[in-house]
């Protein structure tokens, strides 16, 4: 239970009320005092003082002085009048309560407003500070720009001056040379008078870069360049140095960042070539040479050209056993089968070769032409002329300039028409 403070004293003038409130043995701070227009409360545990004032006061200008043991209030009245008493009499409990609540609300509102206005002023201050900084920076930048401009101007002037110097020097040199030439001319004319030589023609130094030496070689040249030329050593005796380059597979320039990718591609190619997919037991009794698909292919080609088709097929078979990804092996084996009239086998091999020759690039164009032609021939020999024609036309598409292909295609077309008529 707080202790009500009742031993206060007050006096008043027309415009102000002076209230003195004793507070013994406690420390009072600003937070303990709550004052609005019509309500005054001082709460310092254990003391409590509350007053609903007789008339409204101006709480913003009113003051409270906290001294030892007492608080002195100076409350400025809103209306100048003499109060009958400090507190409002005849106020019932509800009214008192309402007044108290209003007071609190009012105090809150006031606090809000104060906060808002503080925020506004803060923002304005910040803006001002920012503008000031910007101005300073702008000035700094301008200063640097100006310094640079001056530098530039100075340098340009220097350049012009230097050029002037150059030009003057050039002029001087030219005058000097003309003078010398003139003297030379005079000397020659004098010599002419003595000799009966053909008159020499002199160009009086029109070009500012060189002078043309005189015809009469007997006059010593006054131009030092000539002398210097003769003092050059003879041209070097020709020599050749043979060099070899750090190897590089690709025709493009070497870039460090691409090296990894290139290595990978080369690795893949090497792997594809070396792919061994045969039974080792069968290969046990082959020598080194015979294990190389390329060597076997060459052997096969040789046997094909001598007409030994069976042996050629054997060679190709072995090569394919070693590496079944090389299209040219199937291509050549197809040719052998054609010669031996193993038409179905020929068709099979040509098809396999075509499969391996994807993607179709200019590099493998003629290989593909051969494959189509061989398959087409096989079809025709089996009297499957329609399919044969298809293959011939595919070959023609790749190589439209081949006359024999055209001729053969024409023939097949005729045969087809002939058959159609018959049946």
Binding residues (CB under 8 A) for another protein: these are 140, 143-144, 147-148, 151-152, 155-156, 159-160, 162-163, 166, 170, 207, 209-210, 225, 228-229, 232-246, 248, 252-257, 259
Based on CB atoms, which residue is closest to another protein, 60 or 244? Answer: 244
Least separation in angstroms between residue 217's CB and another protein is 19
Based on CB atoms, which residue is closest to another protein, 26 or 144? Answer: 144
Based on CB atoms, which residue is closest to another protein, 166 or 358? Answer: 166
Cα–chain center distance at 43: 71
- Are 39 and 56 contacting, i.e. CB atoms less than 8 angstroms apart? no
- Are 52 and 39 contacting, i.e. CB atoms less than 8 angstroms apart? yes
Based on CB atoms, which residue is closest to another protein, 209 or 401? Answer: 209
Cα 419 from Cα 423, distance rounded (Å): 6
- Are 71 and 33 contacting, i.e. CB atoms less than 8 angstroms apart? yes
Per DSSP, what are the bridge partners of residue 19? 10, 73
Q: Which helix (H) or strand (E) holds 76?
A: strand 70-77
Based on CB atoms, which residue is closest to another protein, 126 or 135? Answer: 135
DSSP state of 249: S
Least separation in angstroms between residue 255's CB and another protein is 5
Based on CB atoms, which residue is closest to another protein, 78 or 177? Answer: 177
Cα 369 from Cα 366, distance rounded (Å): 5
What number of residues does the chain have?
A: 423
Contacts 24+ apart (CB under 8 A), 85-93: 85/54, 86/10, 86/17, 86/19, 86/51, 86/53, 86/54, 87/51, 87/52, 87/53, 87/54, 88/52, 88/53, 88/54, 91/52
Least separation in angstroms between residue 159's CB and another protein is 7
Least separation in angstroms between residue 238's CB and another protein is 5
Least separation in angstroms between residue 141's CB and another protein is 10
Based on CB atoms, which residue is closest to another protein, 1 or 253? Answer: 253
Least separation in angstroms between residue 160's CB and another protein is 7
Least separation in angstroms between residue 252's CB and another protein is 8
Cα 350 from Cα 395, distance rounded (Å): 13
Cα 311 from Cα 339, distance rounded (Å): 13
């Amino acid at each position: 239970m707080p202790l009500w403070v009742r031993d206060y004293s007050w006096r008043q003038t027309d415009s102000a009320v002076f209230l003195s409130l004793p507070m013994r043995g406690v420390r009072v701070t600003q937070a303990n005092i709550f004052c609005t227009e019509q309500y005054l409360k001082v709460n310092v545990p254990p003391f409590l003082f509350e007053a609903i004032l007789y008339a409204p006061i101006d709480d913003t200008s009113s003051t409270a002085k906290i001294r030892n043991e007492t608080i002195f209030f100076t409350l400025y009245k809103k209306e100048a009048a003499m109060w009958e008493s400090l507190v409002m009499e005849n106020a019932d409990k509800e009214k008192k309560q309402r007044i108290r609540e209003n007071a609190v609300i009012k105090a809150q509102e006031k606090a809000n407003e104060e906060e808002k206005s503080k925020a506004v002023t803060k923002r304005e201050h910040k803006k001002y500070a920012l503008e000031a900084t910007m101005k300073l920076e702008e000035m700094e930048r301008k200063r640097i720009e100006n310094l640079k401009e001056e530098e530039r101007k100075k340098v340009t002037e220097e350049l012009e001056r230097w050029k002037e110097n150059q030009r003057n020097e050039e002029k001087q040199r030219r005058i000097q040379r003309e003078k010398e030439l003139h003297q030379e001319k005079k000397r020659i004319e004098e010599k002419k008078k003595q000799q009966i030589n053909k008159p020499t023609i002199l160009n009086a130094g029109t070009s500012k870069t060189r002078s043309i030496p005189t015809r009469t070689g007997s006059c010593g040249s006054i131009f030092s360049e000539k002398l210097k030329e003769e003092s050059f050593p003879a041209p070097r005796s020709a020599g050749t140095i043979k060099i070899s380059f750090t190897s590089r597979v690709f025709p493009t320039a070497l870039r460090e960042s691409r090296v990894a990718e290139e290595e990978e591609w080369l690795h893949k190619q090497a792997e594809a070539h070396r792919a061994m997919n045969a039974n080792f037991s069968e290969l046990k009794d082959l020598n080194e040479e015979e294990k190389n698909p390329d060597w076997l292919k060459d052997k096969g080609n040789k046997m094909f050209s001598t007409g030994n088709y069976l042996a050629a097929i054997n060679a190709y078979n072995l090569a394919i056993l070693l590496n079944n990804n090389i299209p040219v092996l199937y291509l050549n084996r197809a040719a052998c089968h054609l010669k031996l009239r193993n038409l179905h086998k020929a068709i099979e091999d040509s098809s396999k070769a075509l499969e391996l020759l994807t993607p179709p690039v200019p590099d493998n164009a003629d290989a593909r032409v051969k494959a189509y032609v061989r398959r087409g021939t096989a079809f025709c020999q089996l009297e499957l002329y329609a399919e044969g024609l298809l293959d011939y036309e595919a070959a023609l598409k790749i190589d439209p300039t081949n006359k024999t292909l055209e001729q053969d295609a024409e023939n097949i077309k005729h045969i087809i028409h002939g058959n159609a008529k018959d049946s």
